[in-house]
Amino acid sequence: MKLLLINPNTSLPMTRSIAEAASAVAAPGTEIVARCPTFGPVSIEGHLDDAFGAAGVAEQAMVAAREGFDATVIACFGDPGLDAAREALPGPVLGIAEAAFRAASIVATGFSVVTTMTRTCVIAERLVSRYGCESTCRGIHGTDIEVLSLESCDEATLARIEAASRVALARDRSEAIVLGCAGMAALCEELQRRLDVPVIDGLAVAVKLAEALSALRLRTAKRGDYAPPLSKRWTGWAAGFGRDVTA
Ligand code: 2AL
């Protein structure tokens, strides 16, 4: 299958490392194409970043609409642009936060999210409501680790995430940890070994779910809410998108 991985931030090193992490869990027959927007912030750590990230995801989804991808993964924990990408693309689109929450709710009765900047916690909190996980998500914990610093993650950074996870497990009475950033994917295995509880990297779950949905030939419903966008004139720098993307 052909899987499109959209990193909503514009960091090329992070796009490469996300592609490597996805390839590490993908089935042998899965071809991964990783892309990021042509504009916007290099990391997503707040509402304004998130809004531009969502526009960047929409851009990349429109570019990819006719390329025949079987499924798409949005590789940022805020799931920016998820609904827009589902409108634009025929195959299933997975957000890593939604994928992580679903997986965590299967392997534990309660989980905690350990994320990057504390200011991003509210974005995760709103996703918990959106996905109906209020009773299973028992806490969201910021570490104030900058997203791009995860690129060269040393033992001190790993130890901070481990310490925050231990506090979360104890304080929240939770039994699993959801990693709240795509840039944490490479740390998942080591953290699970150290913490001895399920540690969920939404990127890995989303890749495996994308493969499963594709194998089951399940595609996005196009009758109602996710019907293709209406054809109309667009203006300004986005004028080129004013064509019928699904024609
Ligand atoms: C993220 C993420 O996954 N990628 C990014 O740029 N920001 N999320 C986060 N909570 O830090």
- Average pLDDT of the segment spanning 144-158: 94
pLDDT at 247: 46
Same domain as 148, residue 53: no
Same domain as 121, residue 91: no
Same domain as 168, residue 77: no
pLDDT at 153: 85
- The answer to whether 96 and 203 have CB atoms below 8 angstroms apart is yes
Residue 242 has pLDDT above 90, yes or no: no
Cβ of 120 less than 6 Å from ligand 1: yes
* Atom from ligand 1 closest to the CA of residue 53: 6
Q: How many domains would you assign to the chain?
A: 2
- Average pLDDT of the segment spanning 163-177: 98
| pLDDT tens readout for residues 64-97 | 999 999 999 999 999 999 999 999 999 999 999 9
Structural domain boundaries, residue 115: 97-201
| pLDDT tens readout for residues 202-240 | 999 999 999 999 999 999 999 999 999 999 999 999 998
Same domain as 117, residue 78: no
Triad 2, 5, 10: Cα angle to 5°: 145
Same domain as 133, residue 48: no
Same domain as 69, residue 120: no
- Average pLDDT of the segment spanning 12-21: 97
Same domain as 63, residue 23: yes
Cβ of 44 less than 6 Å from ligand 1: yes
Cβ of 9 less than 6 Å from ligand 1: yes
- Tokens 């399940």, located at residue: 218
Helices 202-215 and 96-107: crossing angle, nearest 10°?
90
Model confidence pTM above 0.85: yes
| CA gap 43, 161 in Å, rounded | 19
Residue 246 has pLDDT above 80, yes or no: no
| Beta bridge pairs of residue 112 | 139, 177
CATH code assigned at 11: 3.40.50.12500
Same domain as 49, residue 23: yes
Helix (H, G, I), strand (E, B) or coil at 109: coil
pLDDT at 243: 66
- Average pLDDT of the segment spanning 59-68: 96
Task: Tell me the CA–centroid distance for residue 78 and ligand 1, in Å.
Answer: 7
Nearest CA to ligand 1 atom 9: 181
Mean pLDDT of the residues in the chain: 96
